[in-house]
Structure 1
Amino acid sequence: MSPTRSGRGPTRRALLTAAAAAGAAAALGTTARAATPRATAETSTDVHIFYYPWYGSPKANGSYRHWPQGNLTPPDGISSNFYPVLGAYDSGDSAVVAQHMAWLRQAGTGVLVTSWWGRGSYEDQRVPLLLDRAAGQGLKVAFHIEPYTGRTAASVAADVRYLTGAYGGHAAYFRDAAHGDRGAFYVFQSLDIADWSPIEQLKSDAIVLTQTTDVSKAAHFGGMYTYDGIAAARLPDWSGVDRFCRANGLVWSPSFGPGYLDDRAVPGNTTPTVERADGTTYDAVWQHAITSGDGGAAPEWVSITSFNEWHEGSQIEPATGTPPTSPVTYQTYEGAYGRTGAAATTAYLDRTRYWVERYTAARRGA
């Protein structure tokens, strides 16, 4: 959601301009009524998580990519207020992607929604590796169609056909059995385009989701989502969106995350920060999402912002507890959910599984 979209185009500035972790904590105290977790290695394909394959390093890409944003010099200086356990890694490094998939399985998130910037883009070139490594962990891959240069409703329709044709036969390509074995395509900043009628003909093969809570803007789409973790921290009333989607055969996938902090990636910006509050914020937004549907029902899907958007501080990917101390200082997950030391690095992965199990129980009990 950073104003520069990590250097790739239009803004990811929040739709709302304030968030309060303290308010989220209060809401958690009044709404928590979770079921007993199940000891399981299962993942849920109703839980989607936004994934970014846009990073580069000399090891695989030949140079650093995305990490230097904000005029920083990797590997010690990166455009994040946290530092990855894997360092300033490369999204084309097979070992890195394999580790990501293992962590996603640990978290219980069954579908990763990969950022995609058009045919032939850096992110498109990484799809085959991503699919192969996802298949190795029994995970599925959906697509987040970003606002690449020249994007139109017609080009998005063509993109969906291209992605389905190129990758639809892969074992890791996500198809939702509950919705006609259709794939999922989230469209970021969809409101930039007024007329989406060209995607109408895709409905039998794909679920194309628009990024909005304005139901009047959902014509021709197969679903709705929010992406915005800042707005989600305010625990908004999503019941009307859920009601509309259920009544009209659309899929509702509310989005939320553990926090938001993009000051290092975008120096001088005025985007609000959402404090993690040692995990209290994440607990609150998860609990809210589970009970946010019409009549307190769980939505059909939920979407987590994010696995590894390090620029915006919304990641659940493990962050090291011993980051470089210069040229900048970094935050850590120390203290999250009462964890310290090495145990803290995976605090958000493990807490995600905790909530995935509760969400799954709520869906099964619906």
Structure 2
Amino acid sequence: MLPYAHRTDLSVRPRPYPAWRVRGHVAGTLPPYSINSDNQPEWLYLSPRTYRMMLETTRRRLLAGTVGLVASGTAVAGRVRSQSPDETTQATSSSPSNERPSTTVCAHYYPWYGPDSHWDEGYTETPLLGEYDSGHSAVIDQNLDWAEQYGIDWLSASWWGPNSRENRILATVFGDRIRETDVEYSVLYESLGRFDATDDGIDMDLPENRERLLSDLEYLQENHFRHPNYRRVNGKPIVYLWPSRAFRGDVVGAFEEVRAELDAEPYIWGNFVSPHAPTGADRDRVGAFDAISMYNPYALWRRIDADERSFASALSDHYHQWRAAAEGGETHFYPTVVPGFDNTEAGGDLPVLPRDPERFRDDCRSARKTGDSAVNTVVVTSYNEFHEGTHVEPTLEMGHALLEAVSDELATAEVTDPLDARASLELRFDRTESPPDDSRQLAFAANRIALRDGTTPLANYDVGAATGLLFGGGVYDSESDGARSWRWMGGSDGRCRVFFELPAVEDATALTVEGLGIDSGVRTTVRLDGREIGTVTLSDRWDTYELSIPNGSDP
């Protein structure tokens, strides 16, 4: 994502090729023009590199007698319709299905390309549509057609303010064209382009920042939220806040003020998931958002040892932890997948995550098993962020392979919630304390949790080590004195949740918890999978508390 340094070596604008050259040499591909408001053709911009590759691709098609990598599309006035799978010369097992389960696929979308916008900043691979203009109706139609065909239900569109080119496109031609489809859209709020961020982030205690946030959302309410294709969750219009971790100060209070002022309460979705395991502070903050996700799991890929484990495995383990953290804050969780990352053509020097369709399929299968059953959504980063090479939009080099992976592994597959296979232990404390110079709200230092059936041990969990456990809100980071390890529990609302394997609970008749109270006399209500099983009074010394589970886990 922006900002990018300007590439002076790419500052010469590509020029449109004459119609006879394009039509004569690339017959059968998408004609590089769209129909403007006066019903006249306007030529898309093709760089020399794009033109040469189109010629070479066409030559291979003619020699091989196959469809090749070029899109089989036909341009008509006002619409560009791709061939259906039945119309292609080669049937494939990855053709999109007409029968769709409940999984929703979202993709981040960038309407910022044009003859004087973005292409000169560099990009990896060559768009099948050439260096197009995001404001051309034919380009919009083709991308919406691909979204519908391959199961992308919803586009999260980059928005840089009321006076930006992106907004003009979204509010006019894009908004008009998407009405004719079943695709929905929402706004990706580019915060760094709207606030004067400092090295410490965006301070929401400053009145001018709160005023800007309210002003922008009031504009969105009037000009986007009321669009019939605008994406909502529980009736609330979605706003994706990027980068949400840059916000500082009373963020919760700022959101509450905005919600109180607007007619339509926004659903705030933040890219709050980091490449690290959630900390206790993270679990305390997730409740500020209606939903959380990771914008680009590439950051996680950079942290793993590829010789030790696969990206798909690391993604699964990581998302399980964040799914639990979100559940603790009663916040929705959206797993995200990325087909690759390469920003070298845009002047970056980060390691390249190769764009591999088969690896992407593995990652998709892994991510969809970490979803939230309340929303059944998986996010793709991105539809067309070519600067970072995260796009799934068809290219001359990759064809439709990445969209086919989206269709096969996400759009036509079910999301599985990892918490459905786990039991929840909830502790509710009647009070908490915050030690000096410590913002945490503490009640109980938990050392061990055990389950047994009569005298038979079923499970014994070391809370500090966290093996086999996932933690929701109100659970803080591991501590140790060498002899034992523990985690403080409490939270801003005096409630914490721990998730562990369900089979052990189904047969258990007793639960024991070992730990230390912050003070004597703290009363704690214990719930197992939503059912209250007892109340204990904590001691300020290490002690073991035991509760019966009548009739196992049956209600």
Counterpart position of 1:60 = none
RMSD, aligned α-carbons: 2.7
- Judge conservation of contact 2:103–2:410 (CA < 8 Å) in 1: no
User: Per-residue deviation at 1:111?
Assistant: 0.7
Say whether residues 1:242 and 2:286 are aligned partners. Answer: no
Aligned AA for 1:212? Answer: F
User: Per-residue deviation at 1:298?
Assistant: 9.2
Counterpart position of 1:136 = 180
Counterpart position of 2:391 = 315
Counterpart position of 2:337 = 256
Counterpart position of 1:348 = 402
Counterpart position of 1:198 = 254
Say whether residues 1:55 and 2:55 are aligned partners. Answer: no
User: Per-residue deviation at 1:219?
Assistant: 4.3
User: Per-residue deviation at 1:193?
Assistant: 1.7
User: How many Å separate the matches in 2 of 1:274 and 1:298?
Assistant: 31
- Judge conservation of contact 1:56–1:92 (CA < 8 Å) in 2: yes
- Judge conservation of contact 1:43–1:105 (CA < 8 Å) in 2: no
Which structure is higher in helix share? 1
Give CA deviations for 1:257-284 in whole Å, capped at 9, x if unaligned: 1111110011xx331211123x122112
**Relative to 1, partners in 2 of residues 1:38 and 1:138: Cα closer, same or farther, differing over 3 Å?**
closer
User: Per-residue deviation at 1:170?
Assistant: 1.6
Give CA deviations for 1:168-203 in whole Å, capped at 9, x if unaligned: 222111112xxx211111111122221312112428
1:301 pairs with one of 377, 399, 402: 377
User: How many Å separate the matches in 2 of 1:123 and 1:283?
Assistant: 31
Give CA deviations for 1:51-84 in whole Å, capped at 9, x if unaligned: 0000112xxxxxx210011xxxxxxxxx112001
**Relative to 1, partners in 2 of residues 1:217 and 1:171: Cα closer, same or farther, differing over 3 Å?**
same
Give CA deviations for 1:105-148 in whole Å, capped at 9, x if unaligned: 11201110000111211111111222222221211011111121
Say whether residues 1:228 and 2:284 are aligned partners. Answer: no
1:66 pairs with one of 111, 118, 126: 118
Three-state SS of the structure 2 residue aligned to 1:218 is helix
Say whether residues 1:276 and 2:355 are aligned partners. Answer: yes
State the TM-score, normalized to the length of structure 2.
0.48
State the TM-score, normalized to the length of structure 1.
0.72
Say whether residues 1:90 and 2:133 are aligned partners. Answer: yes
Three-state SS of the structure 1 residue aligned to 2:188 is strand
User: Per-residue deviation at 1:290?
Assistant: 1.1
**Relative to 1, partners in 2 of residues 1:199 and 1:319: Cα closer, same or farther, differing over 3 Å?**
same
Which structure is higher in strand share? 2
**Relative to 1, partners in 2 of residues 1:37 and 1:86: Cα closer, same or farther, differing over 3 Å?**
closer
Three-state SS of the structure 2 residue aligned to 1:264 is helix
User: Per-residue deviation at 1:216?
Assistant: 3.7
- Judge conservation of contact 2:334–2:371 (CA < 8 Å) in 1: no
Three-state SS of the structure 2 residue aligned to 1:136 is coil
Structure 2, unaligned stretches of length 5 or more?
7-93, 197-201, 205-209, 274-281, 302-310, 421-555
Counterpart position of 1:184 = 238
User: How many Å separate the matches in 1 of 2:345 and 2:101?
Assistant: 33
Say whether residues 1:208 and 2:268 are aligned partners. Answer: yes
Three-state SS of the structure 1 residue aligned to 2:106 is strand
**Relative to 1, partners in 2 of residues 1:166 and 1:38: Cα closer, same or farther, differing over 3 Å?**
closer
Counterpart position of 1:73 = none
**Relative to 1, partners in 2 of residues 1:265 and 1:205: Cα closer, same or farther, differing over 3 Å?**
same
Identical counterparts, % of pairs: 24
User: Per-residue deviation at 1:42?
Assistant: 4.8
